Amino acid sequence: MTEPQTTSTGILAAMYGAVRALQLYPAENDVVRHALAEVKNVADQILKQEGGLSVWVAGSYMFVNDLQVRLDLQDYATLAAFRELLRGHGVGRLEVDPKADAEDWQKALAMLAAEPSPGQPPLEALLDRMEAAGISRISVGPPAPMFEGSDAEKTTEAARRTYSRSVKVARETMEGLVLGKAIGARRAERAVLTVVDQVLQEPATMLGMLTLRDFDDHSYVHSVNVSILSVALGDYLGLNREQLFELGFAALFHDIGKVLIPPAVLNKMGWLNDEEWRLVSQHPDFGLLMLFNAEGFEELPYRGMLAVYEHHMKPDLSGYPRVIRRRRQGLFARIIALTEAYDAAISNYSKQFLPCSPDEAIRQLREAEAGAYDPVITRAFVNMMGIFPVATLVILDTGEMGVVVAPNPNPKALSRPLVRIIANADGERVGNGPIRDLTEMDPDTGRYSRSIARSTDPARYGINISDHVA
Residues that bind Fe ion (CB under 5 A): 255, 340
341 versus 387: smaller Cβ distance to Fe ion = 341
121 versus 263: smaller Cβ distance to Fe ion = 263
85 versus 170: smaller Cβ distance to Fe ion = 170
**Least distance (Å) between residue 286 CB and Fe ion:** 10
340 versus 374: smaller Cβ distance to Fe ion = 340
Residue 62 near residue 55 (C-beta atoms within 8 A)? yes
**Least distance (Å) between residue 152 CB and Fe ion:** 32
Residue 383 near residue 365 (C-beta atoms within 8 A)? no
**Least distance (Å) between residue 257 CB and Fe ion:** 8
- β-bridge mates for residue 403, sequence order: 393, 420
Residue 35 near residue 14 (C-beta atoms within 8 A)? yes
68 versus 281: smaller Cβ distance to Fe ion = 281
Interhelix angle 331-346/241-252, nearest 10 degrees:
50
Q: What is the CA radius of gyration of the chain?
A: 24
**Least distance (Å) between residue 255 CB and Fe ion:** 4
38 versus 340: smaller Cβ distance to Fe ion = 340
140 versus 256: smaller Cβ distance to Fe ion = 256
- Triad 341, 163, 432: Cα angle to 5°: 95
Residue 419 near residue 403 (C-beta atoms within 8 A)? yes
Q: Which residues contact 408 (CB under 8 A, 6 or more apart)?
A: 77, 386, 414, 416, 417, 418, 437, 438, 439
**Least distance (Å) between residue 444 CB and Fe ion:** 50
Residue whose beta carbon is closest to Fe ion: 340
**Least distance (Å) between residue 343 CB and Fe ion:** 8
Residue 77 near residue 409 (C-beta atoms within 8 A)? yes
255 versus 437: smaller Cβ distance to Fe ion = 255
Q: Which residues contact 103 (CB under 8 A, 6 or more apart)?
A: none
Q: What is the largest CA-CA distance in the chain?
A: 81
End-to-end CA distance of the chain: 34
**Least distance (Å) between residue 350 CB and Fe ion:** 11
The 3-class secondary structure across 49-79, one letter per residue, is HHCCEEEEEECCEEEECCEECCCCHHHHHHH
**Least distance (Å) between residue 222 CB and Fe ion:** 6
